[in-house]
Amino acid sequence: MKYELRRMRKLSPGLTVNNSGGAGKGSVILMGEDAWNPAGSAGFPEELSPVAGKEGLGAFCFFSPFDDRTFPGNGDITRNVCDDAALFFHVTMNTNQSLNSRGSHIAWVDFLRILACFLVVLAHCCDPFVGSFDGSFNFKSAVFWGSLVRPCVPLFAMISGVLLFPVTLEMGAFYSRRLKRVLVPLIVWSLALPLLYFGYFAAGVQTSSPNIVMDTYTWNATVGNLYTFFFNFNYDTTPLWYVYMLVGLYLFMPIMSAWLTQARRKDVKIFLGIWIFSMTLPYIQMLAPALGYEGNYGNMGILGVCDWNPYGMFYNFSGFLGYMVLAHYLTKYPLAWSWKKTLSITIPFFLIGFAVTFFGFLETQKHFPGQYSKLEVLWYFSGINVFLMTFAIFAVVSRLRIKAGPVLSKVAALTFGVYLCHFFFVQCSYDFVNCTGLGGLPSAVKIPLMACLASAVSVALVWLLSLNRWTRKSIM
């Protein structure tokens, strides 16, 4: 086999990662953009350096055969260079996106994954206090914390966009690899969580949580939950709604990836613009009756939504897919902002988004007390207010110079498992705090305390499960 690059070697300035000493053995070279021109004289023909002058890093990789696990999907395969072994990448990442020796961990993404996971736990710790709907200080404190952490799930979606776009596998191979990683945990925890709740209350534990109806935790009801998860999640498995949704995203990712690979930057910006506009539709629908809109046959949907059509005009542009595309866009075309400009934009974005979320929830509660269908509009993950907060966090964290390390990567690897099991331990932490001397603390303090307790226990359990190759399949 003839290689146009006769020898792998470090080009300065640059970083040699996992250098095994020769072509065809898995060597990877990451170079700054000013190293592209010298690359031609070092064995890279000039015409194979089409990204010279663009932001980000370039990587020239020899693999025989190429395996997508060797690189975390953060590059565009531009062309095959020689026979079937050499691949040329344009890796549009910030220089602070450190990779481990296998090229599988980006430090700021690991940090963001841990942050998003803790915010999810914190969000669910708010539920018992928000569920009182009594307008008290404890209620308002819970709404404050709940509003503050709304970017949690969109951040997970953006992380998937960073790591999985573009999809380089064939559709069948991608489905096989990704779906089995989520379907097995979905089934396991759809069975485990109802059983844990049943055993917990059957042991005689009493709770004051307004979200729990003790009479429903019978064996017959639990058995029903063990098979009805085929249709949807139940209260005991509330967080698993995200896994159902994630499966749908995985099914569509290869299709969207094919478009992203050939789409011009302008085209992607148009898509994102329409997606961002779609985030305003829940508020337009809320305001429409004040402008005289009476709906159709009792259905208050807008833009084509009615009893026989749940898919409105912008349905195909809405939802979490936009967050994934946005993350890919920001990775491929990094924001060339100084820290001063970054903070001058992201801080107002976050504060405006939070203000709309927090005060909007309180105001909606005044007019529609206890009506989740109305209150959740302010907490929609696909609402424009939550988008502003999510973008702000992502833009700041992606610029942080975080040092990669084994602890960071190992904890990040446990976050999916923590997400799957934490909801039960949130209930346990709520009851533990209330039955000890800590019960008199205000909810503003109890909520983060509960989140720390639930997170710690969840991490410990998931770590134990990760030690066995069979139980590991249920958490990662």
User: DSSP states of 191-222 as a string?
Assistant: HHHHHHHHHHHHTT-----TT--GGG-SHHHH
What is the 8-class DSSP label of residue 304?
A: T
Report the C-alpha gap between 241 and 171 in whole angstroms. Answer: 24
Collapse the DSSP code of 15 into the 3-class scheme (helix H, G, I; strand E, B; otherwise coil) and give the result. strand
Report the C-alpha gap between 8 and 28 in whole angstroms. Answer: 8
Q: Where are the alpha helices (DSSP H) in 229-303?
A: 241-262, 265-278, 281-287
pLDDT at 410: 93
Q: Count CB neighbours of 138 within 10 A.
A: 19
Report the C-alpha gap between 371 and 392 in whole angstroms. Answer: 30
* Under 8 Å between Cβ of 409 and 105: yes
pLDDT at 23: 37
* Under 8 Å between Cβ of 322 and 275: yes
Omega before 13 cis (within 30°)?
yes
Percentage of the residues of the chain whose pLDDT score is greater than 70: 78
φ, ψ (nearest 5 deg) of residue 15: -145, 125
Report the C-alpha gap between 185 and 193 in whole angstroms. Answer: 11
Report the C-alpha gap between 157 and 295 in whole angstroms. Answer: 33
Residue at 425: amino acid letter = F
Q: Give residues with Cβ within 8 angstroms of 177, minimum separation 6.
A: 169
Structure tokens at 377: 């509009």
What is the 8-class DSSP label of residue 56?
A: S
Least Cα distance to 399 among 114, 134, 106 occurs for 106
Structure tokens at 243: 């896994």
Q: Count CB neighbours of 266 within 10 A.
A: 7
Counting other chains too, the contacts that 440-444 makes at CB distance below 8 Å and 24 or more residues apart are: 442/137, 442/138, 442/141, 443/129, 443/137, 443/138, 443/139, 443/141, 443/142, 444/137, 444/138, 444/141, 444/144, 444/145
What is the 8-class DSSP label of residue 58?
A: E
pLDDT at 86: 37
Residue at 110: amino acid letter = D
Give all strands (DSSP E) within 339-408, no chain letters.
Answer: none
Report the C-alpha gap between 218 and 285 in whole angstroms. Answer: 40
Name the stretches of the chain with pLDDT < 50.
Answer: 1-102
Least Cα distance to 11 among 48, 47, 46, 37 occurs for 37
Collapse the DSSP code of 76 into the 3-class scheme (helix H, G, I; strand E, B; otherwise coil) and give the result. strand
Omega before 185 cis (within 30°)?
no
- Model confidence pLDDT, tens digit, residues 460-474: 999 999 999 999 999
Residue at 72: amino acid letter = P
* Under 8 Å between Cβ of 57 and 29: no
**Statement: the pTM of the whole predicted model exceeds 0.95:** no
Collapse the DSSP code of 144 into the 3-class scheme (helix H, G, I; strand E, B; otherwise coil) and give the result. helix
Report the C-alpha gap between 94 and 108 in whole angstroms. Answer: 10
What is the 8-class DSSP label of residue 231?
A: T
pLDDT at 84: 36
Beta bridge partners of 28: 17, 61
